[in-house]
Structure 1
Amino acid sequence: MTELSDVEIAADARRTVRVFLAAPSLRLTGPADGVFSLALRGRINAVREALLDCGVSVFSTHHDDVWTTRGVGTGMRVPSAFRAMQSADLAIAYVGSPLSAGVGMELGWATALRKPVVLLVDKAVAHSPMISTLEEVSPVLPLEFDTSWTDQQLRHTILTALDWADTSVAYPEAS
């Protein structure tokens, strides 16, 4: 994979996109409960950081309940995750196996609202029929999540997903 320079990443950081990050809930589990591993927690944090590095606003119920850009809240708190999905331009979901009930619900919202969806999936994991048929309802880009990616490779993957979403729907202009 070709490494991106900081200049290329900065040039692409002018996007005015709102991304809803759907993932198993960090708030409901702890590292010792066996449900949400520290490795998975690290992957979700890395995806959020890569999105922020790309200059987009991110909503993640696992981290906060406000739209965030590079660590700073950009507006009022969102009264519900559903409201955040309504105002999102794109949903990016980390899909594990078995599928988290919360992620399943958030993907249901995204497809009902006809949002483009990027699925970050683990290699060689069989997914439920719900996941494999999402593209019949909304534009879907499945991407294999490689745990050996560097931060820069993850950023490149996120930029690829954002570019794909640009061609799937036209984002509203910044106001």
Structure 2
Amino acid sequence: MTNKSTGTVFLGGPFKGIVDPATGEMDKRYRCRFEALIDRLDSEGYVVHNAHRRESWGAAFLTPEECTRLDFDEISASDVFVAFPGAPASPGTHVEIGWASALGKPIVFLLEQDAEYALLVRGLHTVANVTVITVEDDDLELAEQVSLAVREAVSGVTA
């Protein structure tokens, strides 16, 4: 066995809009979802890039210049881009979606059941490699579904 990681994943989604400005804390429901996904992927040997964790779940936001450069560089270095686009739409996540698709990264969308998404998000599969996972409120299998989708996407990546 080598010391090489299983692969690299960028996990994105709404951030600033789900942090309470009074407390500086990220909404616990979303934080738990992100932590469960990060923990699962970490445990399988993936290197996981995530702004939420990097910026202490909202307690230590970086400057626009810092977070833009880091997110772009980390998406560029990742094998797979996984994201909750946000409903309502997360502007930052939509920029990241554009970067990932322009960079030719496989994309795994985590879409809330019954939510409305931008037409370009719903149609992105026509111009990019997109896998869609429908997320339900208390979906205990989400981490397993994401793990499988990431594994399939990484196995299609040539070194």
Please give the TM-score of this superposition, normalised by the length of structure 2: 0.77
* Count of residue pairs the alignment pairs up: 142
Contact 2:19 2:27 in 1 (8 A): no
Contact 1:44 1:94 in 2 (8 A): no
Deviations along 1:95-114, whole A, 9 cap, x unmatched?
A: 22111011001000000001
Candidates 104, 114, 122, aligned match of 1:114: 104
Structure 1 unaligned regions, length at least 5: 1-13, 66-78
Contact 2:80 2:154 in 1 (8 A): no
Candidates 64, 67, 90, aligned match of 1:100: 90
SS in 2 for 1:138: coil
1:156 is matched with which residue? 144
2:157 is matched with which residue? 170
Cα separation, 2, equivalents of 1:107 and 1:90: 11
> Which one has the bigger helix percentage?
2
Task: List, as ranges, runs of 4+ consecutive aligned residues in structure 1 with deviation greater than 6 Å.
Answer: none
Question: Quick one: which amino acid aligns to residue 89 of structure 1?
Answer: D
RMSD: 2.6
Q: Give the share of equivalent positions with the same residue, in percent.
A: 26
Question: Quick one: which amino acid aligns to residue 141 of structure 1?
Answer: T
Q: In structure 2, do the counterparts of structure 1 residues 30 and 87 end up closer, same or farther at CA, with 3 Å as the change threshold?
A: same
Per the TM alignment, residue 47 of structure 1 is displaced from its structure 2 partner at its CA by 1.8
Per the TM alignment, residue 32 of structure 1 is displaced from its structure 2 partner at its CA by 5.8
Cα separation, 2, equivalents of 1:92 and 1:104: 12
| More off after superposition, 155-164 vs 90-99 | 155-164
Candidates 5, 10, 32, aligned match of 1:20: 10
1:29 is matched with which residue? 19
1:50 is matched with which residue? 40
Please give the TM-score of this superposition, normalised by the length of structure 1: 0.70
